[in-house]
Amino acid sequence: MTLHRTRAVYMRGGTSRALMFREQDLPADPAARDALFLAAMGVPDPSARNLDGMGGGLSSLNKVCIVGPASRADADVDYTFVQLTPDTPAVDYGGNCGNMSAAIGPFAVEEGLVPCPADGETAVRIHNTNTGKLIVARFAVEHGALAADGNFTLDGVAGTAAPVKLEFLAPGGAKTGRLLPTGHAVDRLEVAGLGAIEASLIDAANPCAFVRAEALGKTGTELPHDLEQDDAFCAAMEAIRRAASVAMGLTPDLVAAGALASIPKVAMVAPPQDAPTLSSTLAATEHDIAVRMISVGQPHRAVPITGAICLAVAARVPGTIPALACAAASGPIRVGHASGTTQVDAGVENGTALYGAVYRSARRLFEGNVVWRG
């Protein structure tokens, strides 16, 4: 084994963290890139802790972002998202990460990949190569970098920061080409061990499958560690996810669906109700819909941003399971999750998703070289 050094930046985006690379600093060979990512993140680790790399033992902490020159005229930069899992050697390019999307604009500005004012507001048009969709990031800059301070609070992240507004333009059909891949607001999936389960299969920002919490014997307010310890529940959600993958046309069969772990996301939803969070209690009056989402086999501590965007879009499609559970008939939607709330908005007209928007924050944590063995 030889030690290698590759220029990198470590950033927080929303409630996730990732190693950030400039396209020019990576090997051109895809296999060599994947080997670098696995070694740098300390993946795979049988103990699922990733102590020998930059990974953090959770799907939200095992991420890589690649940023480079734009390949289309309406964008400023290209952004490719890479999801890794703690204990398997999978390198997944299947979907986008909305949380880390919040870090792409600031990274591009601070790395000099796009011009920006020394002070004031700026906007970076981001082409996500995983989905082929455009995201506009709007944020304040000071001295040519993301503003260091702000009064925006984000549940799941301590302190305050400057907000980053993310506008996901025309998010429908991100992977399948259709907002409703099956053409139905609700489908009946035949799931091994469960029988027929109703699900809304929506493709916006990332494909997601939404089921009623009560259909699984849950309230939709359970905390992540309780769900993690419920083997039957975890197995059921994975079986639903695989069945949804096949029904949406993402994979040809259940075996292939098992190998594509990042999409579709799968979530149970419920009407607003008093619910515990990881740090306090969320009142029914403080949110419009409750969600517990699974990301790469693990109950998410909050909600993935692409999942929240998809949920908001789904809530604006008549007859879907999220639409029936959501208390907000129009305007912004307060999504209640295990860490608090996330406010999202979406516009849908005549079966077309026009946009999805959300506020996050980001911060540069370190810069230099990541040292990896290979």
In a shared domain, residues 18 and 99: yes
Q: Is the pLDDT of residue 156 over 90?
A: no
312 and 281 assigned to the same domain: yes
- Write out the two tokens for 48: 């699922």
* pLDDT band per the 50, 70, 90 thresholds, residue 257: very high
Whether residue 182 lies inside any domain: the answer is no
CA separation (Å) from 253 to 186, 203, 241, 319? 21, 19, 12, 27
CB 103 within 8 A of CB 113: no
Whole-number pLDDT of residue 202: 98
Q: In terms of domains, do 191 and 112 share one?
A: no
Q: What's the pLDDT score for residue 49?
A: 95
Give me the residue label for tokens 């993690």: 228
Q: Looking at the structure, do residues 319 and 194 belong to the same domain, yes or no? A: yes
Closest residue by Cα to residue 88 from 48, 34, 118, 137: 48
Is residue 352 situated within a structural domain? no
At 371, the amino acid letter reads V
136 and 204 share one domain: no
CA–CA gap between residue 5 and residue 292 (Å, rounded): 39
37 shares its domain with 97? yes
Residue 70: CATH number of its domain = 3.10.310.10
Q: Is residue 217 part of a domain?
A: yes
The answer to whether residue 36 sits within a structural domain is yes
Residue 315 Cα to chain centre, angstroms: 18
Assigned domain for 204 exists: yes
| pLDDT class of 59 with cuts at 50, 70, 90 | confident
Whether residue 32 is found in the same domain as residue 163 = yes
pTM of the predicted structure, to 2 decimals: 0.83
On whether both 83 and 46 belong to a single domain, the answer is yes
At 185 the pLDDT is 98
Helix (H, G, I), strand (E, B) or coil at 198: strand
Claim to verify: residue 82 and residue 110 sit in the same structural domain: yes
Residues 306, 210 share a domain: yes
Give the mean model confidence (pLDDT) for residues 218-246: 97
Query: According to the model, what pLDDT value does residue 342 have?
Result: 94
Claim to verify: residue 194 and residue 324 sit in the same structural domain: yes
Whether residue 251 is found in the same domain as residue 365:
no
Q: Where are the beta strands (DSSP E) in 184-250?
A: 187-191, 195-204, 206-212
DSSP 240-298: HHHHHHHHTTSSSSHHHHHH--SSSEEEEEE----EE-SSSEE-GGG-SEEEEEEETTE
Question: Which position has the token pair 């740098």?
Answer: 40
Mean pLDDT, residues 294-308 taken together: 92
Domain count, the chain: 2
Asked whether residue 342 is assigned to any structural domain, the reply reads: yes
Per-residue pLDDT at 1 exceeds 90: no
Domain of residue 241: give its range: 187-346
Q: Does residue 356 fall inside a structural domain? A: no
d(CA 99, CA 265): 14
| Residue 155, in any domain of the structure | yes
